[in-house]
Amino acid sequence: MKAMRTRNVGKLIEQMVRVIIRKFNPERIILFGSHARGEAGPDSDVDLLIVMPVEGSRRQKAVEIGVALHDIRLPKDIIVTTPEDFEWRKEIVGTIERPAVREGRVLYARI
């Protein structure tokens, strides 16, 4: 049963990535947290770090992405950062970017 749930969650995550790419054209999408580590439980949310240029509020852009993903019934936490902030923050202890780089899985990277 757990393997079936894991496959279903994996398909939903793939669907989320396709929607984000199509509607927002990010530079990178990184899955981090319990799903990336293979430790997700039944109540775990999906943590996605979206790296993309943003004019204005990154929080507002995360809300827009969340709205676009509304029909995908999976708890999710969307974090948006700019490419410039990502580059320096990925080395700083205490930031979201650092564990995302160290233990996360890149689901999409624009070449």
Phi/psi region, residue 50 (left: phi>0; alpha: psi -120 to 50; beta: rest), is beta
CATH number of the domain encompassing residue 74? 3.30.460.10
Average pLDDT, integer, range 102-106: 96
- Domain assignment of residue 17, given as a range: 2-109
pLDDT of residue 42: 85
Phi/psi region, residue 56 (left: phi>0; alpha: psi -120 to 50; beta: rest), is left
Total domains in the chain come to 1
pLDDT of residue 7: 73
Alpha helices in 25-68 (DSSP H): 34-37, 58-68
pLDDT of residue 1: 38
Distance CA 51, CA 55 (A): 13
Name the residue type at position 63: V
For residue range 30-75, what is the model confidence (pLDDT) as tens digits?
A: 999 999 999 998 889 999 999 999 999 999 999 999 999 999 999 9
For residue range 3-22, what is the model confidence (pLDDT) as tens digits?
A: 545 678 999 999 999 999 99
Round to the nearest angstrom and report the end-to-end CA distance of the chain: 37
